[in-house]
Chains A and B, each alone.
Chain A
Amino acid sequence: MSTILELRDVWKAYEEVQALRGLNLEVNKAEIFGLVGPNGAGKTTALKIIVGLLKVDKGVIRVDKYDIEEEPYEYKKLIGYVPEAVSLPEYLNLEEFLIYSGKIRGVSNEQIKKRMDFYLRTLDLEVKRRTLILLLSRGMKQKAAMASALMHDPDLLIMDEPLIGIDPAGQHRIKEMFNERIESGKTVFLSTHMLDTAERMCDRVAVIHKGKNVAFGDLESLQRLSETGEDATLEEVFLKLTEEAEEKVPELSSEGLPERRRHGIFRFFRRT
């Protein structure tokens, strides 16, 4: 099975926090892959690095054949992204927003129209087509962001906590949509701390803790690794693995933090 996403020894530090410490991942084509971990494990940071919102300090990330550092724009044609806290241009209506999303992703006008109609219908947003985004509910905004991420029919859909704020009927439709995508050879990569969601939806998961890999594989292999037994749920496996990791991983230190950058007026004029 070929790989669509690969992270090798990825490090990322913020000013006071070492968010990722040598993260490794491999996501295959045509699978739903889940990234699970407790709060502050580095899930969102990892996702933001993959989609180009953050720069990596060290390590290699490949999306299909592209190294994202070397080709920072080309690989984005292959990905669609839905962040956890969705913020959308509130001054546009839903239709305008989807047109905007399609246009900046280089989709042809015919395809924009076709896909917009399809996703508005599928995600039950048709009646809100000309409603200002400002007036949509949180769940509707989440669905709108999802439709936006799918406008260019990406090979790899990356989602941070995809089902939060969406009603059960909407969740059901989204799961169906994911399965259809997998059947057509596309990949879904999601991060979540809702373990029942991960258990029901994902083919494989990676458990991360304090920016490091803890375990990797399908539920069966994780059950074996954690020695929790065949009937153990992902939640039980997760708790066992993260407890063990807690004992192994030392407390976060300032080691590896980037040098504090200079502030002030001189930096203002410095060439980037």
Chain B
Amino acid sequence: MSIFFDLYKFKIKSFLGGFRASRVNLILVALYLLSTLGGTIGISMAVVDSVKGGTDLTVHIDAFSVVINGFLALILVSTFRGIVVFEYEQGFIFTSSLTPRLYLMASLLTDLTVFSIFFCPALVPLAIVSTSLMLSAMTILSLIAFLILFAFFLIFLKNSFSILQSVSKGQLTRITAIFLIFWLLLPAVGLMVPLPLKVSELPYPSTFLAQALLLALYGRIPPAHSFLAMACYFLASFVLFMLCSVKNIFQFAKPVPLVSPFDTSMRMQTVKMYGNIRLFSRVGMGITLDLRSESLLRFLMRKEFIRMIRDGSLFTVLLFYLIVSIMSVVSRIGEVPFPVWLFVLGIYSFIVPAMLISNWRVSELDNLWIPFSSAVDLGFIVKSLLYDLTLTAFVVPAATILILTFVSQIDPLLPLVLIASVSLIGCSTSLFAMVHFLGKRRRAVPSLMIGWASMLLFSLLVFPTYAYVTLSLLWRLRIEINLLLAIPILAYSALVFKFFSKRAQEKAASIEI
């Protein structure tokens, strides 16, 4: 047993090795918390307001189950890679006398620990909702029990299918997984086209969880048969895992470099970026870099756009604004008076420029010798990058807002001014800070530190915009006054953009790499 705990401790230490390497890596945790807490707090506020406003959210069990089913389907898709292990494990642990089952058990406990760390921000909405709605201890406990059963079910299922994918030679496992994915996603059709059966009437694990969560909002405990069904799913996945774990996975595991999620070092960020490129290039090869663009500026912008697709930057931006959209729709259903989604839009539009610049640095820092040894003006490269980042930081949320204008009947003026101003100021200041740290002597500075520094500078400069939006909401200003005030705000943002764009271009000409 001591080997088991030693292995577990070792795996956890390796996984969280980033903290041991540098305290700077705590910044990544702060950024993760800032981005997830923004969304979770926003959602919980909207939910609390809806429940207090007398809206019956239990009628949305079907929709909620479909979302959880989508998550389950994603987990099953992730098992197609089979059992993935870190290279050091294959080299040192698999060559020892340790049994595969013991290794798997330690991995499982590690997965559970990591799962708990990543999902700890979920405790915040739970706390907000339970205190705001004054839920009883019994309700909260039953909810937690449900969540724990579901988490274990997920982890056992994921590991079992990964083992089966690795070990089985035939296509049977894959076909079974595809069938399950199809079965899980099928109820989504019911949201658009009426089906004879509702999701809430089918015994999906997601249905039981959705029921438990939504009933808890009204202080009700889920029925006993739901508990029993969830426990059955948990037991079935556990038995499947125990059966699978007798297989010798050591011969089938796929080695990957050790990736610690909270390591901000350039080397680790690059490894993670390569993982992203492997994943996203599969969907991003439709748009290619060809000889069609006649102007160099357009060509370079296209290249940056392709990078953003293939390294996953664009996906992250889309995900951020999808959350904003969901919140806007939830607010509308719940008839929430406070525009929670605008609050989250403010937070995300603040993070996006720094995130985009940081990703560029990770992808391109070592490739700078290519433009630097060519005859192209470096200021030109910086300019094309800035235009591209600003467009991305503006166009994606602008499109989201325009869609929401029709779907949720929101007033688009304030959010559009907010994102236009924040994109202009955020991208130019972030790029300036990044160029400042491009030089040889500052190369070792982690991207996140640079992101943090640029966000500090950015927060000072963007203050008038946030003040304008906040005051406009508080005083419920008329549209004419809003429009009038928006002009100086946008003019100011354009000035800041011009100033930092010029400074970044000047700086680029003087750096050594």
Is B191 engaged at the interface, CB distance under 8 Å to the other chain? no
A217 to B268, alpha carbons, bound, how many Å?
A: 45
**Residue interface mask A100-130, B partner, CB < 8 A = 1:** 1101111001001100000000000000000
CB of A96 within 8 Å of the partner chain: yes
Q: Is the CB of A103 within 8 A of B370?
A: no
Q: Which residues of B298-354 have CB atoms within 8 Å of chain A's CB atoms?
A: 299-300, 303, 306-307, 310-311
Minimum distance in angstroms from A24 CB to a CB of chain B? 22
Closest to B281 in A: A132
- Is A81 in contact with chain B by the CB < 8 A criterion? yes
Decide if A73 touches B377 in the complex (CB within 8 Å): yes
Q: A73-B375, A272-B506 known; A91 and B306 CB under 8 Å?
A: yes
Q: A99-B291, A112-B291 are in contact. Are A89 and B364 (CB under 8 A)?
A: yes
Known: A15-B441, A112-B291, A132-B277. Is A89-B363 also a contact (CB below 8 A)?
yes
| Interface residue A134 (Cβ < 8 Å from any Cβ of B) | yes
Residue of B nearest to A130 (CB): B285
B370 A148 Cβ-Cβ under 8 A: yes
A36-81, CB < 8 A from B? 51-55, 73-77, 79-81
Expressed in whole angstroms, the minimum distance between the Cβ of A88 and any Cβ of chain B is 6
Q: Given the complex, which residues of A lie within 8 Å of B364, measured CB to CB?
A: 89
Tell me if B281 and A91 are in contact (CB < 8 A).
Answer: yes
**Is the CB of B372 closer than 8 A to any CB of chain A?**
yes
CB-CB < 8 A to A113: which residues of B? 291
Q: Across the interface, name the chain B residue whose C-beta is closest to A112.
A: B291
Residues of A within 8 A of B278 (CB): 134
Question: Does B373 have its Cβ within 8 Å of any Cβ on chain A?
Answer: yes
Question: How many residues of A sit at the interface, in one of the four size bands?
Answer: 35 or more
List of B residues within 8 angstroms of A52 by Cβ:
372-373
Q: Assess whether A90 is interfacial by the CB under 8 Å rule.
A: yes
A77–B440 alpha-carbon span in the complex (Å): 24
Q: State which residues 179-197 of A face B: CB under 8 Å.
A: none
Q: Which one of A54, A93, A103, A113 has the greatest number of beta carbons of chain B within 10 Å?
A: A103
| Interface secondary structure of B, over-half rule | helix
Are A105 and B290 interface neighbours, CB within 8 A?
no
A232 at the interface (CB under 8 A from B): no
Within 8 A of A (CB), among B270-309: 273-274, 277-278, 281, 285, 288-291, 296, 299-300, 303, 306-307
Do B310 and A91 have beta carbons less than 8 Å apart? yes
Chain B residues whose CB sits within 8 angstroms of the CB of A87 once the complex forms: 366-367, 369
B277 touches A91 (CB 8 A): yes
Complex: chain A residue closest to B312, CB-CB: A91
Q: Is A268 an interface residue (CB 8 A)?
A: yes
Decide: B375 and A106 in contact? CB cutoff 8 A.
yes
Nearest CB on A from B200, distance (A)? 43
Pairwise interchain contact A91-B512, C-beta atoms closer than 8 A: no
Chain B positions 72-125 with a Cβ under 8 Å from a chain A Cβ: none
B495 proximal to A (CB < 8 A) = no
Cβ of A97 to closest chain B Cβ, rounded Å: 8
Say yes or no for A166: interface residue by CB 8 A criterion.
no
B374 and A104 contact, CB distance less than 8 A: yes
Do the beta carbons of A79 and B373 come within 8 Å of each other? Answer: yes
Which has the most chain A C-beta neighbours within 10 Å: B285, B289, B372?
A: B289
Whether A139 is near chain B, meaning CB under 8 Å from some CB there, is no
**Minimal beta-carbon separation of A142 from chain B (angstroms):** 14
On B, residues with C-beta under 8 Å from A are 273-274, 277-278, 281, 285, 288-291, 296, 299-300, 303, 306-307, 310-311, 363-364, 366-367, 369-377, 381, 433, 436, 440-441, 506-507, 509-510, 512-513
Pick the 9 closest A-B CB pairs, nearest first. Answer: A87-B366, A96-B289, A76-B375, A91-B310, A81-B373, A51-B373, A109-B291, A104-B376, A77-B375
Residues on A lying within 8 angstroms of B by beta carbon are 14-15, 51-55, 73-77, 79-81, 83, 87-93, 96, 99-101, 103-106, 109, 112-113, 132, 134, 148, 268, 271-272
7 intermolecular pairs with C-beta atoms under 8 Å apart: A51-B369, A83-B369, A91-B277, A99-B289, A101-B374, A113-B291, A272-B509
